[in-house]
Structure 1
Amino acid sequence: MPLVPTGQIVAAGPVCAFNVITLEHAEAIVAGAEAAGRPVILQISENAVRFHGRRLPPIAAATRAVASTAMVDVALHLDHVVSPDLWRQAPEHDFGSIMVDASALPYQENVAATRAAAEFAHARGLWVEAELGTIGGKDGEPPVDPHAPGSRTDPGEAASYVAQTGVDALAVAVGSTHAMTTRSAVLDHSLIGRLRAAVAVPLVLHGSSGVPDEELRRAVLAGIVKVNIGTALNVAFTGAVRGTLAPRPGLVDPRRYLTPAREAMAETVTRFCRTVAGEVGPRGAVSAAGLTSAVTES
């Protein structure tokens, strides 16, 4: 199937967005979404591009090729982009959207940088996401205390930010943290509701790997539309590789351990997709088992 514009998938949400690091990630995400019968967003972050020698074309082409075989709607998203040189490459590689990450800048600089990126992207038909508030956990930085001053997104500031930047979606800080390997985050659902009332664009939850099932469902009901997941896939991948190699120290064929790793990621994708869609139950619930290993944030 051809790629679907990100905005179209989000408009029909809620939807899960999963981070791609390797070809196996892309294959697993599509397989898992097909098993759930749900649309999905494949995300490639600037960190993932850095991992691939700072070359976007190869991983973008591979991910796009996998998406083209999907039996469900798939969008391609360039995630957590700090470098303008990188987000400017998005149109030529068929990305339907970009997430401009200027969150580390002072507020007015964040607004200016994000507005410039949005103007560039919109002129080329791309959907734009940005982040306001401190989510933490990226690039090895410590998790943020969700009760610390300034760690949560302010509804009034969010409304002003969206109006000034012209973004199409806003990632908000409501209690989750990137790179969590335990599912123990407690979200501020009241704040999500206030943000939903204040902001006229879809809300995005980053750091969703650390959010328990019921918290995810409540977040969607409160107003979250796009749910980003990365670390949970890496935990599943790494756990399967370790489980395969530990009893077989002489195993050298990567297909032997990458196959169960890919299958474990696909199962994780299916469970998250069903949970976010409201299909919570024995088959749809997302297991907390195994989310204890330290992994590198995508």
Structure 2
Amino acid sequence: MALVPVNDLLFKADKEGYAVGAFNANNMEIVQAIVEAAEQENSPVIMQASQGAIKYAGLEYITGMVTIAAKAANIPVALHLDHGTDFEQVIKCIRSGFSSVMYDGSKLPLEENIAMTNKVLEIARPINVSVEAELGKIGGTEDDVHVADKDATFTDPNEAKYFVEKTGIESLAIAIGTAHGQYKGEPKLDFERLEKIKNLIKIPIVLHGSSGVPDEAIQKSIKLGICKVNIDTNIREVFVNEMKKVVSEKTSEIDPRKILGPAKEATVELIREKMRVFGSSNKA
């Protein structure tokens, strides 16, 4: 089937009390793994590409791979730009065929973030492309986006209410204690803050930096209003570790398919497990 807007998936998830997984698609094998997992779990799925992935693989390749995978799939698939900090990059993704984009103006002053988000919405809404925004600074590093621990700030509930009122944004990424990349310890999520924000804004809320967050914490956050959960680092870990295992056990192997194939299969199992945690299995 054709790519679907993320809004179509999140509004249903919000109503029914589960979350849709958003998995970063960095190469062909990972794209295949994401779709295979979603098919096996009968789950809706969001494939997303960061600015770093686009720089690595090329915008046309990313769009082409995901579009082909979606057309062959029997479950709804969305293609989303993850952390689009550059307005021109956001527009290029919309023109390329992305069904959803994130404009990340979290490092900007509040009013400037609102103005730029509205600029993106003005272009995206008439052509049914979903838009995600971010308020609060999520620590850590994801490709080209880096926020030092000292600069990370939690989302203010009243600012979130004001932001949504001034933009009418359809989904909002918030900062409640998660971080991008690998955690050095167990993250502590501010569930009270999440609950306050959800009571004030009444729209789907997005949790970034979810790799390494305990399943119980993820499930509690979903009960409190999280409808989209982003996973990237866990995929990288499983994919690369399986490649290393194959190479170490079969030192003379020179066929990339026999190295990348097992990595893809390990990734399928990881993503299936995440979908079950998110409650999206059999929700397609």
Does the TM-score normalized on the shorter chain lie above 0.5? Answer: yes
Equivalence for 1:144: 149
**Residue 124 of structure 1, CA deviation:** 2.0
Letter in structure 2 aligned against 1:61:
G
The alignment's C-alpha RMSD in Å is: 1.9
1:163-198: per-residue Cα shift (whole Å, max 9, x none)?
222311000001110112568222111111111001
Q: Which has the higher helix share?
A: 2
Unmatched runs of 5 consecutive residues or more in structure 1: 280-298
Following the alignment from structure 1 to structure 2, what is the Cα–Cα distance between the partners of residues 132 and 229? 19
- Maintained 8 Å contact 1:183/1:209: no
1:95-146: per-residue Cα shift (whole Å, max 9, x none)?
221000111222222222111111111122211101111112124746637x
Following the alignment from structure 1 to structure 2, what is the Cα–Cα distance between the partners of residues 232 and 238? 10
Equivalence for 2:40: 35
Is 1:68 matched with 2:71? Answer: yes
Please say which of residues 151-160 and 245-254 is displaced more in the overlay: 245-254
Aligned to 1:104, the other structure's residue is in SS state coil
Equivalence for 2:16: none
Equivalence for 2:226: 224
Is 1:271 matched with 2:273? Answer: yes
Following the alignment from structure 1 to structure 2, what is the Cα–Cα distance between the partners of residues 24 and 218? 31
Equivalence for 2:210: 208
Within a 5 Å distance, the mapping from 1:158-173 to structure 2 comes to 158-173=160-175
**Structure 1 counterpart of 2:109, from 101, 106, 120:** 106
1:17-57: per-residue Cα shift (whole Å, max 9, x none)?
111110111100011112222110111111211122xx311
Is 1:15 matched with 2:20? Answer: yes
Aligned to 2:127, the other structure's residue is in SS state coil
Equivalence for 2:93: 90
Following the alignment from structure 2 to structure 1, what is the Cα–Cα distance between the partners of residues 145 and 72? 35
Following the alignment from structure 1 to structure 2, what is the Cα–Cα distance between the partners of residues 276 and 183? 22
Paired residues, number: 274
- Maintained 8 Å contact 1:182/1:210: no
Is 1:50 matched with 2:52? Answer: no
**Structure 2 counterpart of 1:241, from 240, 243, 263:** 243
- Maintained 8 Å contact 1:181/1:235: no
Is 1:78 matched with 2:81? Answer: yes
- Maintained 8 Å contact 2:137/2:147: no
Following the alignment from structure 2 to structure 1, what is the Cα–Cα distance between the partners of residues 100 and 55? 19
**Structure 2 counterpart of 1:194, from 189, 193, 196:** 196
Please say which of residues 208-217 and 114-123 is displaced more in the overlay: 114-123
Following the alignment from structure 1 to structure 2, what is the Cα–Cα distance between the partners of residues 101 and 111? 11
Aligned to 2:173, the other structure's residue is in SS state strand
Aligned to 1:236, the other structure's residue is in SS state helix
Q: Percent identity?
A: 36
Which TM-score applies when normalising by structure 1? Answer: 0.87
Within a 5 Å distance, the mapping from 1:124-135 to structure 2 comes to 124-135=127-138
- Maintained 8 Å contact 2:43/2:280: no
Higher relative contact order (CA 8 A, sep 6+): 2
Please say which of residues 214-223 and 65-74 is displaced more in the overlay: 65-74
- Maintained 8 Å contact 1:217/1:278: no
Unmatched runs of 5 consecutive residues or more in structure 2: 14-18
Equivalence for 1:253: 255
Tell me: CA distance 1:254–1:96, structure 2 relative to 1, closer, same or farther (3 Å): same
Following the alignment from structure 1 to structure 2, what is the Cα–Cα distance between the partners of residues 47 and 176? 20
Aligned to 2:227, the other structure's residue is in SS state strand
